[in-house]
Structure 1
Amino acid sequence: MMERIDRLRAKANSLVLKPGVYLMKDNAGQIIYIGKAKKLKNRVVSYFRQNKGHNEKVRKMVSLVEDFDYIVCDSEFEALVLECSLIKQYTPKYNILLKDDKGYHYVKITPGPYPRIQAVKQKLDDGAEYLGPYTSSFSVKQSVDEVNKVFSLPVCGKKFPEEFKKTRPCLNYHIKNCAGICLGKISPPEYQQIVKEAVAYLKNGSSRSVEALQKQMEEAAENLEFEKAAKLRDRLLAIQRLGQTQKVLLNSEKDQDFVAVEHSVSTACIAVLKFRGGRLHDKDDFMFYDVFDTEELMLQFLSQYYTKGADIPRYLSLAVPLPDTELYQDYFSELAGHRVSINVPQKGEQKRLIEMAQSNALEQLSLRLNKKSREIIAQQELGRLLGLPKEPEYIESYDISNIGNDYMVGGMVVFQNAKPLKSAYKKFSMKENVTQDDYACMREMITRRFKNYLDETVTDEGFKRLPDLILLDGGSGHVGVVVPLLKELGINVPVFGMVKDSKHKTRAIASTGGEIQLYSNKTAFKLVTQIQDEVHRFSITYQRQKHKQNTFTMGLTSVKGIGEKKAFALLKAFKTQKAMRAATVEELKTAGKLTQESAEALYQHLHS
C-alpha cells in the first residue's frame, strides 16, 4: 500500500506547474477519474499526501489508483474543454455523471374528422401526428393544456360526431374553455382549421401566433366577417389571460436558467428552472449519489448538462459561486455562439427565483430520501452551526439520572436523519460510581460504550457504528471530561453539550471553548431540543423503572424464606409485577423454588 502511494507521489512530484488534465487509472488500466488543474503538479500530488483530509469518495478512488496519465495544456480554458470532452468519452466511475434516464414525451394529434391534442409518453403507429420527442413532461403537459384552452378544444372523453347532442355540454363549455363541439354546430373542415392553427401555435410559440391572430382578426374585420373576427379576438384574449395567470414570470423577456443544489449527507439534487421569453418554460432535476463536494458537483454538472444538448441561455444564475466564473462564461459562450453571463443573485426577483429553484431541489431530495425537507434543513443547519466537515446523519446523545446516591443510571439515544432510532438506544446502570458524581458517571458510560465499539468480540450493531456527532446533556464541564477520554481511546468524534436555562429549556450548545447560541426560529434549535428532551425522558424513565423494580425486589425479600437470589429468579420468571400477582401459589413455588410455607406467605404479601 505505502509502496504504491510513494511511487505515485514521486511521479506526481515530477509534473509541471502548468494547466492540464489528469487521468487516474486502476490496476486494469481502466480510467476511473478525470480532472483538470491550474497547476498539474500541485493538484495531483495532493491526492497522495499522507493524512490528507479527503472525503470518503476520494479516499476510495485513491485506494484504487495504480497509475495516472496527464495532458499538459496551454491554458485553463483548453484544459476545461479537454476535461469535458474526455469525461464524455470515457464516463469514469468516480466522476459525477449525468445519466440520461429520463423518458421521452410527445404531443399527439389524433386522426379523424375531430382530432384531439394530447400529451403522451409513447409514439405509436396509429395514424396520428406526433410532435417531439421532448425530454420534459412538464413542458409538454403545460403546452398541451395551454393550447387546448386558447383554442377552446375539447378535453373530455366524448367521441365525435357519434355523440353530438346526446348529453348536455360540460362545465368547460360554460366557463368558455371549450367551444362546445358536442353541440354539433362546428363542421369538420372548420374544426380541422382550428386544430391546424393550434398546432402552428405549438410549433411557433405564442408570440408569433399572437401576431398571426392579430393580422387575421384585422383582415376579417376589414372583410366584414365580424363573427370570425370575434372568435379570433376571443382567442387573443385567452392568450392574454394565460399570460396573466402565469405566476412565474421574469420582469423582462430574456432567456435565463436558474440552477440550484441541495445536499444531504452523500446525496444531492440539482434543479434547473428554465425561463424562455420571460416565462417559466421547463424544469429539470437530477439526483446524484456519493457526493461530498457541492462545488465540484456544480462544476461537473454544468459542463455536462450544457454539452449534452441543453440550449444555453444568455443568462445563467447559480445558487453557489464558481471558483472560475470567467472561465466557464467563456466556455459556454463558445458553445452557445453568443455571450453567456453567469451570476449568483443576491436580492430582488432574481434571488426569489434562485430560492424557488432551491426549494424544488429540496423537495425532490426529501422525496427521494423519504425524509421531510425540514429534517434535511435541520441536519444542514446543525452541521454548519457546529463547524462540522459534514452534516451529522447519525447522532448519539447521553444523559445521567439518579435519586441522590441511589440508582445511578445513564441513557443513550440515537437520532438518524433527524429521527429517533429507538432500536439503537442503550441503558447503562453504573457499576464503578455509586456516588452522586455526574462527571464520573458520564465518563464511565462513555468508556463502556466505546470499549464495546473497540472490542472485536462484541456484535451488537448499536455499539459497532461510530456516530457523526455526540451531544451530552450538560455544559462545557461534561464536554471537558469526555473529549480527552475519547482522545485516549483513539475515537475521533466531535462532542458538544446541550445547555438548559433556568426553566429546563434548551438554551445553547457548549464546547470546550464556550457556548454557541441557538435561535428558537431555526430548525437546528428544534432538532437539538427534541434530542435533549428525548435523552432526558429515556434516562429518567430507566431510573424510575430501576427504582420501582428495586423497591419491589426489597419487598419480596421481606417475605420469610426469600433472599435476593430467589427474588431475582421470581422477577426473571414472571417479568412483571402484574404477572406475578396473577400467579397461583403452586406457580410461585415452582418459579422461585420455594417451600410451601414461603410460597403461601409470598401469595399473601402480593395480595395484601
Structure 2
Amino acid sequence: MSNDYLKNIIKNIPEKPGCYQYYDDKGIVIYVGKAKNLRRRVSSYFTKSHDNSPKTRILVSKIRDIRYIIVDNEEDTLLLENNLIKELQPRYNVLLKDDKSYPSIVIRNEYFPRVELTRKIVKDGSQYFGPYSNVQSVKTLLEFIHKLYPIRTCSLNLTPEKIAEGKYKVCLEYHIKRCLGPCIGLQQHDAYIKNIESIKQILKGNSNLVSDEIYNQMQEMAERHEFEEANKLKEKYLLVENFKSKSTVVSNINYNIDVYSYDEDENAAYINYLNVHNGAIIQVYTFEYRKKMDEAKEELLAMGIIEMRERFGSSAKEIVVPFYPDIALNGVEYIIPQRGDKKKLLLLSTQNVRQYKLDKLKKAESLNPEQRSTRVLKELQKSLNLKELPVHIECFDNSNIQGTNPVSACVVFKMGKPSKKDYRHFNVKTVEGPNDFSTMREVIHRRYHRLIEEGSPLPQLIVVDGGKGQLSVACETLEKLNIYGKVAIVGIAERLEEIYFPKDSVPLYLDKNLESLKIIQHLRDEAHRFGITFHRNQRSKQQVKSELDNIKGIGQETKKSLLSKFKSVKRIKSATKEELTQTIGEHKAKLIINYFANEES
C-alpha cells in the first residue's frame, strides 16, 4: 500500500456494488471503475502484483485519493460508470472514439414539422432517427418518404399566426403536387400530423403498420366507389411494399432484437451494433474504444451495449452476442446462436465490424506506408516466435542445372521489401556437381564470414530454401562462425507453407491468409529468380566462348572490333591480311593469321 491514508479508505469501503474514482496529486480524476464488490475490487489494485501489466502499475503509482459511489444493482454500476467516463474523461479509461459526423434523420419540433437529413443533434424537442453509417441510404429513405407523403421542404416559420396573416405564397413543390400548401392554409394541421406519425412508424421500422393502414383505406375507398382516391392509395401501398422488399428482412418472424459483434487490435476495441425491428435491420452502427489499460473484451462489450441502448433508446429483451459480456441486464437474455437466422445476423454483424477495422487500418497505412510494413513484420515475428523484429531478412537459393555451373543467390529484404542493391550472387568454388548441402555450407560461410570481418550488421532472420538437411548444414556453419543463436534461421520446404526450425523435426504450417506468409513467398520467389538468372548468364558465357579467346595477344576490345566488322569467326578466318590490318592493325592481324594457319596444319 502506498500510504496509511489510502489504507484507511479501503478499510472502510463497503462490500457493495458501485463505482470508484482514483485521483492524482492534483485532485484530478485519472480512472473510473465499476465493481460488484467495491472493497474487494479496489483492494486488488494495491495487493496484487502487476508485473504483467505496466499500465496498471503506472496507474497505481499515481493514485493519491479514492472516492466511491454505491448503487443498487450491477446494471446501474455500468450506467453510472459510462456517464462518469463521458463527463470526466479520465486519462486511464477507455475512450469512446465516435464519429459525430454520421447523418441522422430529424423530424423538426415545428407546427408543420419538416423531415430532413442532419449531422447535428440539438436538444430542441426535435425527434432524431439514426445515426446512419451510409449517407446514401439516408437520402434514398428521405426520397421515399417525400414520394409517399406530400410534406413541406421549405424553411418558412409556419405558425398559425403567420399563416393567418397571409404573408406566404405557394412554391413549385405545391404546383408539382409534392406539397399540399400548408403555408396558405390549404392543408389542415391534423392531416399533416397524421402523415408525420406514419413517417415515424416507417423510421422506427414499423412499415408493416403503415402498409396495412394504407391497404385498409384503399379497400374502404373502393367500397365507396371512390376509385380515383383508391388508385392513389394503391400507388402508395405499392411504394411501401417495394420499400419493404428492399429492406434487409431476417425472416417472416417479427424479431425485435439487438445484435453485437466484437473485434480488437493492440490499441482499440471495435463493436458493431445491429438493431432488428419487426424482422428488418433498421440500424447498423460501428464504433471503437481506444484502450488505455488491459481491459477485458467482456468488459468492453458490456460498455458498448450500455452505450448503444442509451443512445438509441433500445429496450430489446434479446441481445445476440459473440460471447457473454461482463454485465447482467434486468429482463434481458443474452444469446450466442449456433444456427438459424440469429446466427446469420451475428455473422453479418461480424463482417461489418471486421470491414470497419480493415478500412481504418488501410486508411492509416495509406497515410503512413511504413506502418503496414511494421505491422506485417510484427505478424511474422509472432508467427515464427522471433526475439527481434525481422527488419533485415536474407534468403539463400542454390542453382545448378544438370550439375553444371553451381551458383547461389542471396536476396536481402529490408522492412519487408526487396533491397536490390544488397543482393549478392556466388560462384561456388569448392563443390563439383549437384551437392546442395556442400553448396549451402560454402555460401553461408562466405557471406557471414565477410559481414563479420567488415563489421557490417547481421540480419535478424536467415531463410534457406530447403528442408531439414539444408537448414542443419546452415546451422552448423553459423555455429563455427559463433553467431548461431544471435541470428534466427528457418528453412522452407518444397511446399511454401512448411517452415522448419533448427533442431525441430516438426514443421510449422503458416496460415495461407497471413500477410507474413506473402513476405516468405516473395523472398523465396525473388531468391529463385535471382539465382536462376545468374546461373543462365554463367552458362551463356561459356556457350558463347569463341576460338578468339585462345589467341594470345588478342583481348576483349580487339574481339569486339573483329566481330563487329566480320560478324563471325568463320568470316575472320577467310579475311585477307589487308582487311584484318585495316580493322586491328598489322601486328594483331599477323597473330590471327598465324594462329589459324597453325590450326589448319
Please, what TM-score do these two structures have when normalized by structure 1? 0.59
Q: Read off the aligned partner of 1:499 and give its amino acid letter.
A: A
Asked whether the 8 Å contact 1:268–1:365 carries over to 2, the reply is: no
After TM superposition, list the pairs within 5 Å mapping 1:579-594 onto structure 2.
Answer: none
Judge conservation of contact 1:20–1:71 (CA < 8 Å) in 2: no
Cα distance change, pair 478–349 in 1 and its aligned pair in 2 (3 A): farther
1:284 Cα shift? 0.9
Q: 2:358 aligns with which of 366, 375, 386?
A: 366
Choose which of 395, 398, 401 in structure 1 pairs with 2:397.
401
Residue 66 (structure 1) aligns with: 61
Task: State yes or no: 1:510 paired with 2:500.
Answer: yes
Match of 1:228? 229
Pairing 1:135–2:135 present: no
Alpha-carbon contact 2:106-2:127 (below 8 Å) kept:
yes
Q: Is the 8 A contact 1:316 1:343 kept in 2?
A: yes
In the alignment, the residues of structure 1 paired with residue 47 and residue 280 of structure 2 have an alpha-carbon distance, to the nearest angstrom, of 48
1:351 Cα deviation after fit: 1.6
1:99 match = 97
Deviation at 1:117, TM superposition (A): 5.8
* Residue 549 (structure 1) shift: 9.3
**Alpha-carbon contact 2:260-2:272 (below 8 Å) kept:** yes
Distance 1:301 1:440, change over 3 A: farther
Measured in 2, the distance between the counterparts of 1:424 and 1:80 equals 56
Distance across 2 between alignment mates of 1:488 and 1:252: 68
The residue identity in structure 1 corresponding to 2:338 is Q
Q: 1:144 aligns with which of 132, 142, 145?
A: 142
Deviation string for 1:513-543 (max 9, x for gaps)?
A: 6124467xx524x862x43432123334554
Q: What SS does the corresponding residue of 1:329 show, helix, strand or coil?
A: coil
Note if 1:313 corresponds to 2:316: yes
Picking from 327, 333, 340, the partner of 1:341 is 333
Which residue does the alignment assign to 1:354? 346
Q: Could you tell me which residue of structure 2 aligns to residue 591 of structure 1? A: none
Q: How does 1:468-479 map to 2 (within 5 A)?
A: 473-475=465-467
- C-alpha distance after superposition, 1:143-168 (max 9, x if no partner): 4243235448999xxxx98879xxxx
- Evaluate the alpha carbon distance shift between residue 361 and residue 188 of structure 1 in structure 2; reply closer, same or farther with a 3 A threshold: same
1:48 partner SS: coil
Partner secondary structure for residue 537 of structure 1: helix
Task: Give the match's secondary structure for 2:92.
Answer: coil
Q: Secondary structure at the match of 2:93?
A: coil
Could you tell me how far 1:257 is from its partner in structure 2?
1.8
| Contact 1:267/1:287 (8 A) holds in 2 | yes
**1:403, 1:294 → 2: CA distance?**
52
The aligned runs of 1:403-418 (5 Å cut-off) are 403=399, 408-413=408-413
| SS of equivalent to 1:200 | helix
CA 1:499–1:136: 2 relative to 1, 3 Å = same
Paired residue type of 1:412? V
Q: What is the distance in 2 between the residues matched to 1:307 and 1:47? A: 36
Any conservation in 2 of the 1:258–1:316 contact (CA below 8 Å)? yes
Deviation at residue 352 of structure 1 after TM alignment: 1.4
Decide whether the 8 Å contact of 1:24 with 1:32 is kept in 2.
yes
Residue 538 (structure 1) aligned with residue 526 (structure 2): yes
1:328 match? 327
**Shift of the alpha carbon at 1:343?**
2.1
Q: Are residues 63 and 143 of structure 1, via their aligned partners in 2, closer, same or farther at CA, if it must alter by over 3 Å?
A: same
Distance 1:286 1:446, change over 3 A: farther
Cα deviation, 1:358-389, whole Å, max 9, x if unaligned, reads 2112222222222799xx9xx99x96998789
Distance verdict in 2 for CA 1:438–1:204, change over 3 Å: same
The corresponding residue for 1:499 is 493
Q: 1:232 to 1:20 in 2, by over 3 A?
A: closer
Deviation digits for residues 15-73 of structure 1, max 9, x if unmatched?
Answer: 78978866566675644444456753556555632xx2x4xxxx356446533355687
Aligned to 1:88: 86
**1:17-36 alignment, distance < 5 Å:** 30-36=28-34
TM-score (norm 2): 0.59
Q: Quote the Cα distance in structure 1 between the aligned partners of 2:553 and 2:339.
A: 82
Render the CA deviation track for 1:146-197: whole Å, top value 9, x for unaligned: 3235448999xxxx98879xxxxxxxxxxxxxxx974x79975799578765
Partner Cα separation in structure 2 for residue 388 and residue 312 of structure 1: 47
Counterpart contact for 2:150–2:180, Cα < 8 Å: no
1:536–1:361 distance in 2 versus 1, CA, 3 Å? same
Q: Is this contact kept in 1: 2:406–2:427, CA < 8 A? A: no
**Tell me, what secondary structure is at the counterpart of 1:102?**
coil
Asked if the contact 2:412/2:422 (under 8 Å) is kept, the reply is: yes
Provide the residue aligned with 2:158 in structure 1: none
* 8 Å contact from structure 1 (residues 315, 342) kept in 2: yes
Aligned to 1:242: 243
Query: Quick check: 2:250–2:341 contact (8 Å CA) kept in 1?
Result: no
Q: 1:120 to 1:80 in 2, by over 3 A?
A: closer
CA–CA distance in 2 between the matches of 1:445 and 1:288? 49
CA distance in 1, matches of 2:450, 2:212: 79
Whole-angstrom CA distance in 2 between matches of 1:29 and 1:479 = 61
- In structure 2, the residue corresponding to 1:261 is in which secondary structure? strand
Letter in 1 for 2:362: N
Secondary structure, aligned partner of 1:244: helix
Q: What letter is aligned with 1:311?
A: S
Deviations 1:276-320 (A, max 9, x none): 22211111112455688771543443344445565342222123x
Alignment counterpart, residue 523 of structure 1, candidates 507, 513, 526: 513
Which 5+ residue runs of structure 2 have no aligned equivalent?
A: 154-168, 366-371, 432-437, 565-583, 589-601
2:166 paired residue number: none
User: Structure 1 residues 523 and 433, CA, compared in 2 at 3 Å: closer, same or farther?
Assistant: farther
Contact 2:131–2:285 (CA<8 Å) still a contact in 1? no
Residue 573 of structure 1 corresponds to none
2:284 match: secondary structure: strand
Counterpart secondary structure, 2:349: helix
Closer, same or farther in 2 for the Cα pair 1:328/1:48, shift >3 Å? closer
Distance 1:540 1:358, change over 3 A: same
Cα distance in 1 between the residues matched to 2:424 and 2:99: 50
What code does the residue aligned with 2:255 have?
A: K
Partner of 1:285: 286
Task: Report whether the alignment pairs 1:48 with 2:50.
Answer: yes
Q: Which residue of the partner structure matches residue 258 of structure 1?
A: 259
Q: Deviations over 1:95-141 (max 9, x none)?
A: 2221344136465799xxx99965354699xxxx9764753364744
CA distance in 1, matches of 2:385, 2:301: 19
Residue-by-residue CA offset, 1:414-468 (whole Å, 9 max, x unaligned): 676xxxx34699546789997735368568878999999xx9x97xxx97xx79x
| Structure 2 counterpart of 1:217 | 218
Which amino acid letter does the alignment assign opposite residue 199 of structure 2?
Answer: L
Pair 497,20 (structure 1): closer, same or farther in 2 beyond 3 Å: farther
| Structure 1 unmatched ranges of 5 or more | 1-5, 165-179, 334-338, 568-576, 582-596, 602-608
Contact 2:150 2:178 in 1 (8 A): no
Cα distance change, pair 367–386 in 1 and its aligned pair in 2 (3 A): closer
Query: Matched residue of 2:232: which SS?
Result: helix
